[in-house]
Amino acid sequence: MITFRFAECSLPESKAQSLAFFIAADQPLSSTLDRLAQDHFPLLESYLKQVDFAGQAGKIVPLSMSVNGQPKTIFCIGIGKPTAQGRITIEQFRRSTASLIRGMQSRKIGSCSVELPSSQLFGVSDFDLGKQLVISACMGSYKFDDYFSDAKRKVFKELTIECCTGSDADKAELQKGVAQGSIIAQAVNKVRHWVDTPPNKLTPTILAGFAKEVAQTYGMKYTEFGEQELIKMGMGGLQAVSAGSEQDCKLAIIEYKTEKKGAPTVAYVGKGITFDSGGLSLKPALNMEAMKDDMAGAAAVIGTMQVIAQLKPDINIIGIMPTSENLPSGTATKPGDIIQFYNGKTAEVKNTDAEGRLILADAMSYAVKHYKPDFMIDIATLTGACAYALGPYFAGLMSQHDELAKKIEHASLISGDRVWRLPMDNDFKAAVQSDVADLCNSGKSQYRAGAITAAFFLQAFAGEVPWAHLDIAGTAFSVPDITYYDTGATGYGVRLLVELAMHWDTIK
């Protein structure tokens, strides 16, 4: 937990163990740092030159000095060169903030007094600066260390950040931003914890249980169906994927209702495969290693619902999570099997490793039939092809609905969960046709683009509802070089889906 405090402090007088300054490239030091240096480290400027620090983005220099008889660490944190318009991106602020947190953790420094840069430098409001400060600091402090028995390997997480602001900053707005950011950050880190949790500790039943817990804790309606019910209801996709596993599959549904009359309803559907071995179309060992992350879409939707219940946007949101485990066995679905989904459509299962679309097909059909949403967005670690096409920094966005796609692109820019739109051209539609059923679950090889052909499979289950698909196979896990991430889960999607819900009508 990180505690944030706003202090009427002059940094040198602060009781905190460390002080931090954000420094833009080739800019003069702030007057506070300048004064501090004059009194306690007269050679600061030449020292920074010596270690080649000129405020470069991502660079952080810790200094030790004695300030008013107290030992202190001073963190000089580079935030890079402003543009010609004098702006630095808010993403740079997020990354620099997370570097500070990691710097504190590795030195076991529990408190820091931070001179907050002006929000104008980033072209954002004071509210957004406070919000992004907390989100990036909390995300930066995350470490999946539950299973270390050696206490020394656990990461130091109890931190206090004291924020000192310039006189032009609106403290009330900053504080509101901090409060909202903290709600978002807690959910993001909770989602990361679920995604990092190994598949022997997180089954489809346990994952649905987390959805139930969130719904009950935050006062939302919860509905759950178990495997036998789902089979009776005609959910052949969930049935087929779960056939090889001893674990029960589930369909978990959380409903958030706004008090505002006439508000639109949006369905968020998240893929919840707690482990993906590929089934009988078994994955090679290397590709299977990280397949505990195949429930990252469902986790992101549950985390989003937790935030939404607290921030109360003016739209209705339904979170739908199909959960299952994809394993081979004597009872597993076989390549060649033909199955029928909840909306009556049939598919030939040519490749049991294309399982995500099978469980999403039932969940989407259910959402369309029972909630008649005005919009639907699914989020899924769906294809290796998407991860190859876009790499780890951009999720694939696929939609034939331009207005919805633009909303998502806009929310993505603000939130930091980035998307890149791939063409959902009807020429690709034939890739998922089958000679023996309505659809085939693996795209024909001539059409190549596996991320897009997967989207066309899903399209058959969106009905007439304006729908968008987010493929997070590349962004959910193991993303290099971003300081607010760690080695494992990223929590991708929570920041994006929350932003979208909060500003549904204002972002276009």
Active site residues: 283, 357
Residue whose tokens read 């040198």? 12
The pair of three-digit structure tokens given for residue 295, joined into one six-digit string: 């429930």
Residues 434-453 that bind Zn ion (CB under 5 A): none
> Residue 25: exposed, middle, or buried by beta-carbon count in 10 A (0-12, 13-18, 19+)?
middle
Q: Which is nearer to Zn ion, 126 or 471 (CB)?
A: 471
- Minimum gap (Å) between residue 35 Cβ and ligand BES: 51
Q: Which is nearer to Mn ion, 198 or 423 (CB)?
A: 198
With CB under 5 to 8 Å by kind, the binding choice for 351 among Zn ion, Mn ion, ligand BES, none is ligand BES
Residues 246-285 that bind ligand BES (CB under 6 A): 276
CB 52 within 8 A of CB 144: no
How many CB atoms sit inside 10 A of residue 217's CB? 10
- Minimum gap (Å) between residue 399 Cβ and Mn ion: 23
- Give Cβ neighbours of residue 225 (< 8 Å, ≥ 6 apart): 233, 250, 251
- Minimum gap (Å) between residue 378 Cβ and ligand BES: 14
Residues 339-358 that bind Zn ion (CB under 5 A): 356
Identified binder of ligand BES from the candidate list 20, 76, 309, 385, rule CB under 6 A: 385
Q: Which is nearer to Zn ion, 115 or 353 (CB)?
A: 353
387 contributes a contact to ligand BES by CB under 6 A: yes
User: CA 227, CA 383: separation in Å to the nearest integer?
Assistant: 25
Identified binder of ligand BES from the candidate list 247, 265, 316, 381, rule CB under 6 A: 381
- Minimum gap (Å) between residue 59 Cβ and Zn ion: 39
DSSP bridge pairs for 265: 316
With CB under 5 to 8 Å by kind, the binding choice for 387 among Zn ion, Mn ion, ligand BES, none is ligand BES
Options 3-11, 155-163, 375-383, 397-405: segment touching ligand BES (CB under 6 A): 375-383
What kind and span of H or E run contains 326?
strand 316-326
DSSP bridge pairs for 74: 19, 63
Identified binder of Zn ion from the candidate list 276, 325, 378, 499, rule CB under 5 A: 276
Identified binder of ligand BES from the candidate list 442, 459, 475, 490, rule CB under 6 A: 442
Binding mask 217-246 for Zn ion (x = CB under 5 A): ------------------------------
Q: Which is nearer to ligand BES, 140 or 392 (CB)?
A: 392
Q: What are phi and psi of 316, to 5 degrees?
A: -90, 135
Axis crossing angle, helix 171-196 with helix 494-502, rounded to the nearest 10: 140
With CB under 5 to 8 Å by kind, the binding choice for 205 among Mn ion, Zn ion, ligand BES, none is none
Pick from 105, 50, 48, 106: which is nearest to 77 by CA? Answer: 48
Binding mask 278-317 for ligand BES (x = CB under 6 A): ----------------x-----------------------
Q: Which is nearer to Zn ion, 276 or 348 (CB)?
A: 276
- Rg of the chain over CA atoms, in angstroms? 24
Residue whose tokens read 């195949």? 294
Q: Which is nearer to ligand BES, 18 or 383 (CB)?
A: 383
- What is the binding site for Mn ion (CB under 5 A)? 276, 353, 355
196 contributes a contact to ligand BES by CB under 6 A: no
Q: H-type helices in 356-485, by residue range?
A: 356-371, 384-390, 402-415, 450-459
Options 186-194, 272-280, 438-446, 490-498: segment touching Zn ion (CB under 5 A): 272-280
- Minimum gap (Å) between residue 449 Cβ and Mn ion: 17
Q: Which is nearer to ligand BES, 294 or 486 (CB)?
A: 294
- Minimum gap (Å) between residue 460 Cβ and Mn ion: 19
CA 397 to chain centre: 15
Q: Which is nearer to ligand BES, 348 or 353 (CB)?
A: 353
User: CA 414, CA 410: separation in Å to the nearest integer?
Assistant: 7
Identified binder of Zn ion from the candidate list 162, 294, 325, 362, rule CB under 5 A: 294
- Minimum gap (Å) between residue 8 Cβ and ligand BES: 48
Give me the sign of the Cα torsion angle 470, 472, 476, 482.
negative
Instruction: Tell me which DSSP letter residue 26 carries.
Output: T
- Minimum gap (Å) between residue 169 Cβ and Mn ion: 49
With CB under 5 to 8 Å by kind, the binding choice for 383 among Zn ion, ligand BES, Mn ion, none is ligand BES
CB 112 within 8 A of CB 18: yes
351 contributes a contact to ligand BES by CB under 6 A: yes
CA 89 to chain centre: 19
Q: Three-state SS across 118-159? A: CHHHHCCCHHHHHHHHHHHHHHHCCCCCCCCCCHHHCCCCCE
User: CA 124, CA 415: separation in Å to the nearest integer?
Assistant: 12
CB 141 within 8 A of CB 2: yes
Collapse the DSSP code of 337 into the 3-class scheme (helix H, G, I; strand E, B; otherwise coil) and give the result.
coil
DSSP bridge pairs for 215: none
Interface residues with ligand BES (CB under 6 A) are 276, 294, 351, 353-356, 381-385, 387, 442, 450, 473
Interface residues with Zn ion (CB under 5 A) are 273, 276, 294, 356
